[in-house]
Amino acid sequence: MTVLATVTALVASRYFTLDPATFLPQQRAVYLAHLAPLLLHIGGGVLALSLGPWQFSHRLRTRSPAVHRAIGRVYLVGVLAAGIGGLLLAPEGLVGPIAPLGFSALAVLLLGTSTAAYVTIRRRSVVRHQIWMIRSFALIFAAVTFRLWLTVLPAVGLPFDQAYGSGAWTSWLINLLVAERLIASLERRHRPG
């Protein structure tokens, strides 16, 4: 997870060169016309994607809680930027209305789960906070899943538009299903009795 998140963050960072050759060819004109939301989305996503895995380190949480909190705050700023940028870009997405709706739902859920994670830790509900953070990171990890989806499905013969449209939904739905399995395991470990 950490390796895939880091590699995806590094690859996405190429967008900061503002070289149109690095943009998804089918979206090049849209990205050039919407550079501010694109950079907000990419910048926040890169930040959250690269920091998120470290928040799950038990060693970091227990030995350096101040570092854990600081990284968590920066992660939330990244999520906020990625979510807002995503909402601004979603209407311009390919394969309308399927993909734009999928990306909009992803952005709204990312902002919602991250807000819930923040609220629960402010209330000192550590287990609930962990649960919401698992969901939040599962949603930000859709950046990885979506890119894998766009690589694998066209390689096995699915047209790009179909892979893109379906990936706008499945990239985060699959991740949430995995997250809910992890959450069920966490809840069993913390159940009294």
pLDDT score, position 92: 92
**Which pLDDT tens digits describe the chain residue by residue (193 residues)?**
999 999 999 999 999 999 999 998 889 999 999 999 999 999 999 999 999 999 999 999 999 999 999 999 999 999 999 999 999 999 998 998 999 999 999 999 999 999 999 999 999 999 999 999 999 999 999 999 999 999 999 999 999 999 999 999 999 999 999 999 999 998 888 777 5
Nearest in space to 44 (alpha carbons), one of 145, 134, 128, 114: 114
- Domain count of the fold of the chain: 1
**Structural domain of residue 61, as residue ranges?**
2-189
pLDDT score, position 190: 76
**Residues 49 and 140: beta-carbon distance below 8 Å:** yes
**CA-CA-CA-CA torsion sign (148, 151, 157, 163):** positive
**Residues 91 and 100: beta-carbon distance below 8 Å:** yes
**CA-CA-CA-CA torsion sign (75, 179, 123, 84):** positive
